[in-house]
Amino acid sequence: MSDIQIGDKVTAIYKTGKYIGEVTNIRPETILVRVLAVVTHPTQGDLHSHKDADVPLFHERRALAYREQANIPAKMVKHYTEEIPDYKESLQHSIQKLRDQLANDDSLWAKKCLENMATLEREYF
Tens digits of per-residue pLDDT, 57-103?
787 889 999 999 999 999 999 999 999 999 999 999 999 999 999 98
Give the whole-angstrom CA distance, residue 26 versus residue 37.
Answer: 20
Whole-prediction pTM value? Answer: 0.90
Is 72:39 a contact under the CB 8 Å cutoff?
no
With a cut of 80, say whether residue 56 has pLDDT above it: no
**Could you state, in order of their start, the residue ranges of all structural domains in the chain?**
9-124
Longest dimension (CA), the chain: 44
Is 62:43 a contact under the CB 8 Å cutoff?
no
What class has domain 9-124?
mainly beta
